[in-house]
Chain A
Amino acid sequence: MIVQTSQGQTRLINEVINNGLCVRCGACAGFCPYFDYIDGKIIPLAPCCSDTARCFQICPLAEHGEKNESDESGIGDYRKIFAARSTDPEIVSRAQYGGVVSTLMIYALEKGEIKAAVLTSRGNGSSPAGFLAESRGDILSCSGSEYTGSGGLSALNRALKAGKDMLGIVGLPCQMEAVRRMSMVEFSGENLSAPISLKIALFCTWALDHRAFDDFLVKNMDGGKIIKYDIPPPPSEKLVVQTLKRKMEYPLSDIRPFIQQGCLLCEDMTGETADLSVGTLEGSKSWNTLIVRTQRGEDLLAGAVKQGLLEVAEFPDENFNHLMEASENKRNRGRKRRIEKNK
Chain B
Amino acid sequence: MTMISEKTGGIALLQGNESIARGALEAGVTFCAGYPGNPSSEIIETLAKAAKDLPIYVEWSVNEKVAFEAATAASYAGCRALASMKQNGVNVISDFLLNMTMSGTNGGLVLITCDDPAGISSTNEEDARLFARMGGIPLLEPATAQEAIEMTKWAFELSEAIKNVVILRSVSRLSHTRSSVQTGLITLSDAQPFFDTSKPYHTFPVVAKHEARNQKLDQAREIFETSHFNTYEGPEAPELLVISSGCPWNYAAEAVELMELGEKVGLLKIGTTWPLPVRLLEKYLKISDKIMFLEEVEPFLEDNVKSLAAQLGHRVGVKTYYGKMSGAVPSCGELTPGLVMKIFSDIFHLPGNTGTYKDEIDTMIADKLPVREFGFCPGCPHRASFYAIKTALAWDDRNGFVSGDIGCYTMGIWPTGFNQVKSVHAMGSGSGLACGYGKLERFGFDQPVITVCGDSTFFHAGIPGLVNAKFNGADIFLIILDNSATAMTGFQPHPGTGITAMGDVTEPVLIENICRSIGADVEVTDPYELKETAERIYRLMKKTGPRVLILRRKCALVQGREGGFPFNMHVDPNKCIGEDCGCGRYCTRIFRCPGLIWNSITGKSEIDRVICAGCGICVDICPQNAIIREGKVE
Partner-B contacts on A (CB < 8 A): 5, 8, 31-34, 36, 38-39, 41, 43-50, 52-55, 161, 187-188
Interface string of B507-549 (1 = CB under 8 A from A): 0000000000000000000000000000000100000000000
How far apart are the CA atoms of A296 and B597 in the complex, in Å?
A: 49
Given contacts A36-B395, A43-B394, A45-B391, contact A54 B581 (CB under 8 A): yes
Say which one of B36-44, B168-176, B584-592 lies at the interface with A.
Answer: B584-592
Given contacts A49-B579, A49-B589, A50-B581, contact A36 B623 (CB under 8 A): no
- In the assembled complex, how far is the CB of residue B108 from the closest CB belonging to chain A, in whole angstroms? 58
How far apart are the CA atoms of A5 and B584 in the complex, in Å?
A: 14
How far apart are the CA atoms of A48 and B397 in the complex, in Å?
A: 19
B589: chain A residues within 8 A (beta carbon): 49
B621 within 8 A of A: yes
Given contacts A33-B621, A33-B623, contact A8 B395 (CB under 8 A): no
Chain B residues 384-405 with CB under 8 Å of chain A are 390-391, 394-395, 397
CB-defined A-B contacts under 8 Å, sample of 10 = A8-B581, A32-B584, A32-B623, A34-B584, A41-B397, A46-B590, A49-B579, A49-B585, A50-B581, A52-B580
How far apart are the CA atoms of A45 and B538 in the complex, in Å?
A: 14
- Nearest CB in chain B to that of A55: its residue: B581
A188: chain B residues within 8 A (beta carbon): 580
Q: Is the CB of B582 within 8 A of A32?
A: yes
How far apart are the CA atoms of A58 and B455 in the complex, in Å?
A: 47
How far apart are the CA atoms of A45 and B418 in the complex, in Å?
A: 11
- In the assembled complex, how far is the CB of residue A13 from the closest CB belonging to chain B, in whole angstroms? 12
The 7 A-B residue pairs whose C-beta atoms are closest, nearest first, are A50-B584, A48-B584, A52-B581, A46-B590, A50-B581, A38-B395, A32-B582
Q: Is the CB of A49 within 8 A of B581?
A: no
Q: Is the CB of A33 within 8 A of B586?
A: yes
Pick from B390, B391, B397, B580: contact of A50, CB under 8 Å: B580
B440 within 8 A of A: no
How far apart are the CA atoms of A48 and B589 in the complex, in Å?
A: 9
How far apart are the CA atoms of A309 and B583 in the complex, in Å?
A: 44
A46: chain B residues within 8 A (beta carbon): 586, 590
Q: Is the CB of A31 within 8 A of B394?
A: no
How far apart are the CA atoms of A86 and B513 in the complex, in Å?
A: 58
How far apart are the CA atoms of A33 and B577 in the complex, in Å?
A: 13
Interface string of B235-277 (1 = CB under 8 A from A): 0000000000000000000000000000000000000000000
Pick from B581, B621, B623: contact of A53, CB under 8 Å: B581
B581: chain A residues within 8 A (beta carbon): 5, 8, 32, 50, 52-55, 187
B side interface size, CB within 8 A: 18
Q: Is the CB of A43 within 8 A of B579?
A: no
Pick from A32, A38, A41, A43: contact of B583, CB under 8 Å: A32
How far apart are the CA atoms of A34 and B584 in the complex, in Å?
A: 9
- In the assembled complex, how far is the CB of residue B427 from the closest CB belonging to chain A, in whole angstroms? 31
- In the assembled complex, how far is the CB of residue B448 from the closest CB belonging to chain A, in whole angstroms? 13
- In the assembled complex, how far is the CB of residue A37 from the closest CB belonging to chain B, in whole angstroms? 10
B580: chain A residues within 8 A (beta carbon): 50, 52, 188
What's the dominant secondary structure at chain B's contact region?
loop
Partner-A contacts on B (CB < 8 A): 390-391, 394-395, 397, 538, 579-586, 589-590, 621, 623
How far apart are the CA atoms of A48 and B538 in the complex, in Å?
A: 23
Q: Is the CB of A50 within 8 A of B579?
A: yes
- Nearest CB in chain A to that of B577: its residue: A188
A34: chain B residues within 8 A (beta carbon): 584, 586
A33: chain B residues within 8 A (beta carbon): 583, 586, 590, 621, 623
Given contacts A5-B581, A49-B579, A50-B581, contact A36 B394 (CB under 8 A): yes
How far apart are the CA atoms of A23 and B216 in the complex, in Å?
A: 77
Q: Is the CB of B584 within 8 A of A43?
A: no
Q: A8-B581, A36-B391, A45-B391 are in contact. List 5 more A-B contacts (CB 8 A).
A: A32-B623, A41-B395, A43-B394, A45-B394, A161-B582
How far apart are the CA atoms of A44 and B590 in the complex, in Å?
A: 13
How far apart are the CA atoms of A64 and B438 in the complex, in Å?
A: 44
Pick from A39, A44, A49: contact of B584, CB under 8 Å: A49
Q: Is the CB of A43 within 8 A of B590?
A: no
A32: chain B residues within 8 A (beta carbon): 581-584, 586, 623
A47: chain B residues within 8 A (beta carbon): 590
How far apart are the CA atoms of A88 and B397 in the complex, in Å?
A: 43
- Nearest CB in chain A to that of B582: its residue: A32
How far apart are the CA atoms of A50 and B538 in the complex, in Å?
A: 28
- Nearest CB in chain A to that of B584: its residue: A50
- In the assembled complex, how far is the CB of residue B540 from the closest CB belonging to chain A, in whole angstroms? 14
Given contacts A31-B582, A187-B581, contact A44 B394 (CB under 8 A): yes
How far apart are the CA atoms of A38 and B531 in the complex, in Å?
A: 13
- In the assembled complex, how far is the CB of residue A128 from the closest CB belonging to chain B, in whole angstroms? 16
- Nearest CB in chain B to that of A38: its residue: B395
**Counting chain B CB atoms within 10 Å of each CB, which of A32, A39, A47, A53 scores highest?**
A32
B579: chain A residues within 8 A (beta carbon): 49-50
- Nearest CB in chain A to that of B418: its residue: A46
Q: Is the CB of B586 within 8 A of A43?
A: no
B391: chain A residues within 8 A (beta carbon): 36, 45
- Nearest CB in chain B to that of A54: its residue: B581
How far apart are the CA atoms of A197 and B397 in the complex, in Å?
A: 36
Given contacts A32-B623, A33-B623, A49-B589, contact A43 B395 (CB under 8 A): yes
- In the assembled complex, how far is the CB of residue B604 from the closest CB belonging to chain A, in whole angstroms? 15
**Counting chain B CB atoms within 10 Å of each CB, which of A33, A41, A47, A161 scores highest?**
A33
- Nearest CB in chain A to that of B391: its residue: A45
**Counting chain A CB atoms within 10 Å of each CB, which of B538, B580, B584, B585 scores highest?**
B584
How far apart are the CA atoms of A57 and B584 in the complex, in Å?
A: 16
B395: chain A residues within 8 A (beta carbon): 36, 38-39, 41, 43
A55: chain B residues within 8 A (beta carbon): 581
- Nearest CB in chain B to that of A185: its residue: B581
Given contacts A49-B584, A50-B584, A188-B580, contact A43 B397 (CB under 8 A): yes
- Nearest CB in chain A to that of B539: its residue: A125
- Nearest CB in chain B to that of A188: its residue: B580
A50: chain B residues within 8 A (beta carbon): 579-584
How far apart are the CA atoms of A232 and B584 in the complex, in Å?
A: 46
How far apart are the CA atoms of A187 and B580 in the complex, in Å?
A: 10
- Nearest CB in chain B to that of A46: its residue: B590
How far apart are the CA atoms of A45 and B395 in the complex, in Å?
A: 8
B397: chain A residues within 8 A (beta carbon): 41, 43
B390: chain A residues within 8 A (beta carbon): 45
- In the assembled complex, how far is the CB of residue A31 from the closest CB belonging to chain B, in whole angstroms? 6
B586: chain A residues within 8 A (beta carbon): 32-34, 46
- In the assembled complex, how far is the CB of residue A48 from the closest CB belonging to chain B, in whole angstroms? 5
A41: chain B residues within 8 A (beta carbon): 395, 397
- In the assembled complex, how far is the CB of residue A140 from the closest CB belonging to chain B, in whole angstroms? 27
How far apart are the CA atoms of A177 and B248 in the complex, in Å?
A: 72
How far apart are the CA atoms of A188 and B583 in the complex, in Å?
A: 13
How far apart are the CA atoms of A48 and B623 in the complex, in Å?
A: 13
How far apart are the CA atoms of A204 and B571 in the complex, in Å?
A: 45
How far apart are the CA atoms of A54 and B582 in the complex, in Å?
A: 9
A54: chain B residues within 8 A (beta carbon): 581
B621: chain A residues within 8 A (beta carbon): 33
- In the assembled complex, how far is the CB of residue B581 from the closest CB belonging to chain A, in whole angstroms? 5
**Counting chain A CB atoms within 10 Å of each CB, which of B582, B590, B623 scores highest?**
B582
- Nearest CB in chain B to that of A32: its residue: B582
How far apart are the CA atoms of A53 and B579 in the complex, in Å?
A: 10
**Counting chain B CB atoms within 10 Å of each CB, which of A46, A47, A55 scores highest?**
A46
- In the assembled complex, how far is the CB of residue B398 from the closest CB belonging to chain A, in whole angstroms? 9
- In the assembled complex, how far is the CB of residue B332 from the closest CB belonging to chain A, in whole angstroms? 35
- In the assembled complex, how far is the CB of residue A8 from the closest CB belonging to chain B, in whole angstroms? 7
How far apart are the CA atoms of A36 and B392 in the complex, in Å?
A: 11
A48: chain B residues within 8 A (beta carbon): 584
- In the assembled complex, how far is the CB of residue B393 from the closest CB belonging to chain A, in whole angstroms? 10
How far apart are the CA atoms of A55 and B581 in the complex, in Å?
A: 9
How far apart are the CA atoms of A36 and B580 in the complex, in Å?
A: 18
- Nearest CB in chain A to that of B586: its residue: A33
- In the assembled complex, how far is the CB of residue B412 from the closest CB belonging to chain A, in whole angstroms? 16
- Nearest CB in chain B to that of A5: its residue: B581
How far apart are the CA atoms of A7 and B583 in the complex, in Å?
A: 15
